[in-house]
Chains A and B, each alone.
Chain A
Amino acid sequence: MMQIICPHCGPRAQTEFVYERTVDSVAPVSACNEEAMQTLFTRGNPRGVDDEIWRHTFGCRAWMVVTRHRVTNEISNIRAVGPEALP
């Protein structure tokens, strides 16, 4: 069980979080049909670092992007997302 550092709550057990999907599976809202389907169905599955969307569902319920190495589970970055995180 990993330990994930919630940008709002600090380090918490993985069981408090829910994995949603990879960042690269989300098409931009403005994408054309073909690009949207390409993004949804043809996506990377790297044996290495990937950006993933997680939510602290059983905690503060905030969303975040977790940069995780998919073999070693090393988490190199966690970025808050949502209206509060906008520049």
Chain B
Amino acid sequence: MNGPSRPNSGQDISFTFDGTRYTARTGDTLAAALLANGIGLVGRSFKYHRPRGIMTAGVEEPNALVTVGEGGRAEPNTRATDVFVYDGLVAHSQNRWPNLSLDFGAIFGLAGPVFSAGFYYKTFFGSAKRWMFYEHFIRKAAGLGNAPREADPDHFSQRAAFCDVLVVGAGPAGIAAALEAAEAGKRVILVEQDDILGASLIRDPQELDSAWAKESADSIRAAGGHILTRTTASGYWEHDLVTLTQRLAEPGQVPANGVAQRLWHVRAGQVILATGFIERPMAFPHNDRPGVMLSQAVRTYVRRFGVCPGQRVVIATNNDDAYLTAHALKEAGAQIVAILDARPAPAGQAHGFTTFNNAHPLATKGSRHCLKSVSGIVDGITKSWDTDLLAVSGGFTPVVHLHCQAGGTLEWHDAAQAFVPAQSRQNVKTIGGAAAPAPVFSSAPVVPAKKSFVDFQNDVTLADVDLAWAEGYRSVEHLKRYTTLGMATDQGKTSNMGALARLAEKQGVAIPEAGLTTFRPPYTPVTMGLFAGAAAKDAGAHKRRLALYDVHAAKNPIWQPLGYWFRPRAYPMTGESLAEAAMREARSVRTAVGMTDVSTLAKFEVSGPDAVKLLETVCATTVGKLAIGRGRYTFMLREDGFVFDDGTIWRIDENRYLLTSSTGGADRMATHLSYVRNYLHPELRVSVVNVQEHYAGIAIAGPKAQSVLATLIGEEPPRHMSTIAARIAGVAVLVLAASYSGERAFEIYVDARNAEPVWAACETAVVGTGGCLYGLEAMEFLRIEKGHLVVGGEIDGRMTPHDLALDKMLNKAGGFIGAAGLTRPALSEAGRRQLVGLEAVEGSIPEGAMLVTPDGKSPEGHVSASAFRIMDGGSLALGQLTDGFLRHGEELIATSPTRGQRARVRVVAPHFYDVAGERYRD
């Protein structure tokens, strides 16, 4: 069935389909090329594996889904009607085994009644185990293409744009609107999903033709407008933002400059939708056979691609438009066997065609590959015709998707039997065929419902709609979910109206009263890569480097992510494991001295006459009593009274404070401080500056820390919880005496740009005194043994100050955020989880384990952090336990089913080391 007038302008190129090589012309869609090569069978249907051919010539195609391309570039579920053939294109059919012609899955078609609407729910209602067994086979049998396993080698880009007028759709109406706006001096973007403008003018040349489209495009460009082809307006969002997906290469094609697609965010002053309409099929038994095609699609293949999909054609219609198809076919040399017109009287377009009025198709016969005959009812009498192509036109559905996504309403257009755009709250209007579809004759012919397909992509028949109705699914939304109608890649573009009409008929109401399902973006499928854009692979998240990154990297540590940073977890010596290295480092701190990088801690400089007022709003402890040069531990509450962060406050000067808090909560704390300063207390005379990365921080801890520091600064180190300004290696530093490890310890803060010489001097002194560097793992061992808290571990957002035994530190004067929340009665009732220590009686305590009583069934707490006694050995942990303060001495089981570990533990106070705190005081 090669067409009579293949355009001479194109060149011959080759492609393969299921491994066989064919020839196409440049400008062909894959569908056109397959038809030109006489290929009728293109795919198998989703559920019943019925043989399917090409039904449409546009993005609405439900049947002809193929996988295009190879390896990571493969694009499954590509509509053969929406890919333009390039030399070397490789396409494969889908959902068939072992091949398209002989598909064992077709057995599902024989079992049709079993697989009717809702069959998943009805058939597999047994135990979950049975479902797990069946699911495997169902997933294999029912389906679309397979996602590629390899990474996509191509890039996807994103771009933002602004314009006065965005015109969607370059048919005659869209081109005219874009031209008018451009010539009026407006910034115009015209988008078209096809690769040419005014394609419908090739199908139906009028007084306007393709030459006019070309001239107009030149004028639009000359006036500064932009025209994007192969670009789909896929989503309409708030405030007239439209997302465009632009193909820079066809599916599976190697892109010329590495970028396969581009996602546009276009903020438009006004949006003009000239999106046209989609032709509807007709429902009758076996209407899904290869060789049954939409009427306008037939005309498109004949006139645009020079491919005549049949030689003996029957046309079924309820409108005038299909007669244009008859003319086009006649010009192409095909024979019009009969026109079945549903309308009761001749409409005046017959032009010598054999036309039957009050006629409707009833069934088709044929093979897997082609159509052989069509039967129909004419005035109640059944007739039959031999044919190889049935062109159907059941009316026209305006493309209102973008209008609806923009929040617009629809109104019923009775003459066209279709919904058209009505009101919109955004600055959008619809023009052309989408606003005024052609009139059709409305009739509900009586045909058997079985095998009368409504939704070709999801194998939903009239019988399924009827069954859903019979089983009580009244709402169109329920109908959709029960039958899967309108789902998958085509989103019901050809099917929704047919099903809706049937539902309305069942309900005995007019179609508009039956309702519509929601139109959601995207209009056509969008590749996930577009959303990631450039933020893929290593660019997915930003990496922040410590000021001393190079110094650490030279020592080849084990890295650990913490907040946005990577920090050394341990510095293993040759042959050491992480645990061995961490234990050696921790012992060095306990017995001599160690140093570590604490630069990532959140740091804020709060200054001004009202600094104390701000800090006493944010912090739940007192601040005002601090003398200059002194510091204290503090913690912060949410408004509901729960602790969300902790840290230290240092009074550097009369009206100048340094606040530190957790690394992981740094962003949250910065936002919180900004909120309090700007929204709650704009009247305060205070400045809050985030100095987190301005300072690098070095902690030196251990019994020898005092003498190491004295050597480094050449003066007496500050007393515990005191701070002094000093110099190390000639660089100005701030020295804070605070201990997280439980040993005498100092934190040295230095301008990050000058950190290296300070670190080098400290390292020389520490190592020279028999100490070493330590990482986060050793720090965990040290702080757990000491019973110090960590944000995210013990401070998990569910603990009050009382639960964490911090309540004695609360500012008695109140006035801090969370003070009111703490007064809620439930926060002081019995039965709350409280902080406890846990000592292993037998076994090693798994982190994250549940705490249960030996005879208990439900967990009464959990292990938040576990470690080992650094000097003596033995497993210990911190945890949260219901009424834990009153249960010291009790034995429990710490069990972690996910790790398959358990231990017997004894509840103790959460301090395992130097309970009196003598080691860090002076």
Most buried by B among A20, A63, A83: A83
**Bound: A1/B674 CA distance, A:** 25
Q: Which of B237, B678, B819, B820 contacts A82 (CB 8 A)?
A: B678
Interface string of B235-270 (1 = CB under 8 A from A): 001110100000000000000000000000101000
> Judging by beta carbons under 8 Å apart, are A3 and B679 in contact?
no
B682 adjacent to A1 (CB under 8 Å): no
Using CB atoms, name the residue of chain B closest to A73. Answer: B238
Shortest distance between the CB of B646 and any CB in chain A (Å): 22
Chain A residues with CB under 8 Å of B682's CB are 81-83, 85-86
Chain B contacts with A in 392-431, Cβ cutoff 8 A? 407, 425
Q: How far is the CA of A73 from the CA of B240 in the complex (A)?
A: 11
> Given the interface contacts A1-B237, A2-B238, A37-B820, does A53 sit within 8 Å of B640 by beta carbon?
no
Judged by a CB distance under 8 angstroms, whether B97 is at the interface is no
A33 near B675: Cβ-Cβ < 8 Å: no
In whole angstroms, what is the CA distance A86 to B681 when docked? Answer: 11
Nearest CB of B to A76, in Å: 13
By the criterion CB–CB under 8 Å, are B241 and A27 in contact? Answer: no
Decide: B265 and A53 in contact? CB cutoff 8 A. Answer: no
CB distance from B261 to the nearest CB of A (A): 20
Report if A9 contacts B (CB, 8 A): no
The A-contacting residues of B in range 606-650, CB under 8 angstroms, are 617, 639-640
Assuming the contacts A26-B680, A27-B820, asked whether A3 and B425 have C-beta atoms less than 8 A apart, the reply is: no
* B823 located at the interface, meaning its Cβ lies under 8 Å from any Cβ of chain A in the complex: yes
B140 contacts the other chain (CB 8 A): no
CA separation between A31 and B640, bound complex, in Å?
14
Question: In the bound complex, do residue A53 and residue B679 qualify as a contact, i.e. CB atoms below 8 Å apart?
Answer: yes
Confirm or deny: B824 has a beta carbon within 8 angstroms of a beta carbon on chain A: yes
Contact call A83/B241, Cβ cutoff below 8 A: no
Cβ of B665 within 8 Å of any chain A Cβ, yes or no, is no
**Does any Cβ of A come within 8 Å of B123's Cβ?**
no
With A2-B238, A40-B639, A73-B239 in contact, is A31–B820 under 8 Å at CB? Answer: yes
A20, B820: Cβ atoms closer than 8 Å: no
Q: Is the CB of B820 within 8 A of A3?
A: no
**Min CB–CB distance A35 → chain B (angstroms):** 8
CA distance A61 to B425 in the complex (A): 30
Q: How far is the CA of A53 from the CA of B684 in the complex (A)?
A: 19
Contact B675 A20 (CB under 8 A): yes
- Given A3-B241, A40-B640, A74-B425: A13 touches B265 (CB 8 Å cut-off): yes
Closest to A61 in B: B674
Task: Tell me the minimal C-beta distance from B814 to chain A in angstroms.
Answer: 9
Q: Say yes or no: is B683 at the interface (Cβ < 8 Å to chain A).
A: yes
Residue of B nearest to A84 (CB): B682
**How far is it, in angstroms, between the C-alpha of A40 and the C-alpha of B821 when the chains are bound?**
9
Q: Say how far B674's CB is from chain A's closest CB, in angstroms.
A: 7
Q: Which B-chain residue is minimally distant from A83 (CB atoms)?
A: B682
In the assembly, what is the distance between CA of A85 and CA of B679, in Å? 10
Across the two chains, which residue of chain A brings its CB closest to B243? A1
Chain A 48-87 interface mask (CB, 8 Å, partner B; 1/0): 0000010101000111000000001110000001110110
B671 at the interface (CB under 8 A from A): yes
**Residue of B with least CB distance to A32:** B820
Give the complex CA separation of A35 and B421 in angstroms.
48
Chain A residue contacts of B675, Cβ below 8 A: 20, 53, 55, 63
Chain A residues with Cβ below 8 Å from B677 are 83
User: What is the interface size of chain A, counting residues whose CB is below 8 A from a CB of the partner?
Assistant: 30
Q: Please indicate the chain A residues that have their CB under 8 angstroms from the CB of B823 in the complex.
A: 33, 37
Report how far A86 CA is from B677 CA in the complex, Å: 13
Is the pair A37, B824 in contact by a Cβ cutoff of 8 Å?
yes
Which residues from 773 to 830 on chain B have a C-beta closer than 8 Å to any C-beta of chain A?
Answer: 819-821, 823-824
Q: Are B820 and A63 in contact (CB under 8 A)?
A: no
Cβ of B683: which chain A residues have Cβ within 8 Å of it? Answer: 83, 86
Considering the chains assembled together, what is the distance between the CA atoms of A73 and B424 in angstroms? 13
Q: Tell which of B267, B671, B684 touches A55, judged by Cβ atoms closer than 8 Å.
A: B671
List residues of chain A with CB within 8 A of the CB of B160. 13
Residues of B with C-beta under 8 A to A81 = 678-679, 682
Distance in Å from the Cβ of B667 to the closest Cβ of chain A? 10
Q: How far does the alpha carbon of A86 sit from the alpha carbon of B265 in the complex, in Å?
A: 36
Contact yes or no, A37 B821, CB < 8 A: yes
Looking at the assembled complex, report how far the CB atom of B220 sits from the nearest CB atom of chain A, in whole angstroms: 26
Docked complex Cα distance between A40 and B823 (Å): 14
In the assembled complex, the Cα of A74 lies from the Cα of B427 at a distance in Å of 12
Distance to closest chain A CB from B225 (angstroms): 22
Cα–Cα distance between A73 and B238 once the two chains are bound (Å): 7
Chain A residues lying within 8 Å of B241, measured Cβ to Cβ, are: 1, 3, 13
Return chain B residues, CB-CB under 8 Å to A36: 639, 820-821
Whether A26 pairs with B674 at a CB distance below 8 angstroms is no
In Å, the complex CA distance between A74 and B424 comes to 13
List chain A residues, Cβ under 8 A from B617: 29
A32 nearest CB across to chain B (Å): 8
Q: Which residues on B sit within 8 Å (CB–CB) of A53? A: 675, 679
Is the pair A2, B239 in contact by a Cβ cutoff of 8 Å? yes
Name the distance in Å between B685's Cβ and chain A's nearest Cβ: 9
> Are A33 and B265 in contact (CB-based, < 8 A)?
no
Nearest-neighbour CB distance to chain A for B839, whole angstroms, equals: 39
Chain A residues within 8 Å of B425, by CB: 72, 74
Known: A33-B820, A63-B674. A26 touches B679 (CB 8 A): yes
In the assembled complex, the CB of A83 is this many whole angstroms from the nearest CB of chain B, namely: 5
Task: Find chain A residues with CB under 8 A from B680 CB.
Answer: 26, 29
- Tell me which residues from 1 to 30 in chain A have a Cβ below 8 Å from any Cβ of chain B: 1-3, 13-14, 18, 20, 26-27, 29
Q: Which of A1, A53, A55 has the most CB of B within 10 A?
A: A1
Central interface residue in B239, B241, B675, B819, by most chain A CB within 10 Å:
B239
Residues of B close to A29: CB separation below 8 A? 617, 680-681
Q: How far, in whole Å, are A83 and B678 apart by their CA atoms in the complex? A: 6
Identify A72's interface contact among B407, B671, B681, CB under 8 A. B407
Residues 656-668 of chain B, each 1 if its beta carbon lies under 8 Å from chain A, else 0: 0000000000000
A19 to B239 CA separation, bound complex (whole angstroms): 17
Residues of A within 8 Å of B238, CB to CB, are 1-3, 14, 73
* B contact residues around A86 at 8 Å (CB): 682-683
- How far, in angstroms, from A27 to B820 measured CA to CA in the complex? 10
Q: Which residue of A lies closest to B239 (CB)?
A: A3
Contacts of B824 in A (CB 8 A): 37
Nearest opposing residue in chain B for A11, CB measure: B267
CA distance A74 to B824 in the complex (A): 38
Which residue from chain B places its CB closest to the CB of A41 in the assembled complex? B640
Q: Please indicate the chain A residues that have their CB under 8 angstroms from the CB of B639 in the complex.
A: 36, 40
Q: How many whole Å from A7's CB to the nearest CB in chain B?
A: 13
Chain A residue with the shortest CB-CB distance to B686? A83
- Please judge, given known A-B contacts A63-B679, A83-B678, A85-B682, whether A1 and B820 are in contact too, CB under 8 Å: no
Chain B residue at minimal CB-CB distance from A38: B820
Task: Please give me the residue from chain B that is nearest to A75 by CB atom.
Answer: B239
Q: Which residues in B have their C-beta under 8 angstroms from that of A14?
A: 238
Measured CA separation A26–B678 after assembly (Å):
13
Closest CB in chain B relative to A75 CB, distance in Å = 8
Residues of chain B within 8 A (CB-CB) of A3 are 238-239, 241, 267
List of 4 A-B pairs having minimum Cβ-Cβ separation, nearest first:
A36-B820, A82-B678, A33-B820, A3-B239
The chain B residues found within 8 Å of chain A, CB to CB, are: 160, 237-239, 241, 265, 267, 407, 425, 617, 639-640, 671, 674-675, 677-684, 819-821, 823-824
Can you list 10 A-B contacts (CB < 8 A)? A2-B238, A20-B675, A32-B820, A36-B639, A36-B820, A53-B679, A55-B671, A74-B425, A83-B677, A86-B683
Known A2-B239, A13-B241; further 15 A-B contacts with Cβ < 8 A? A3-B267, A20-B675, A29-B617, A29-B681, A36-B639, A40-B639, A40-B821, A55-B675, A61-B674, A63-B674, A63-B675, A63-B679, A72-B407, A83-B683, A85-B682
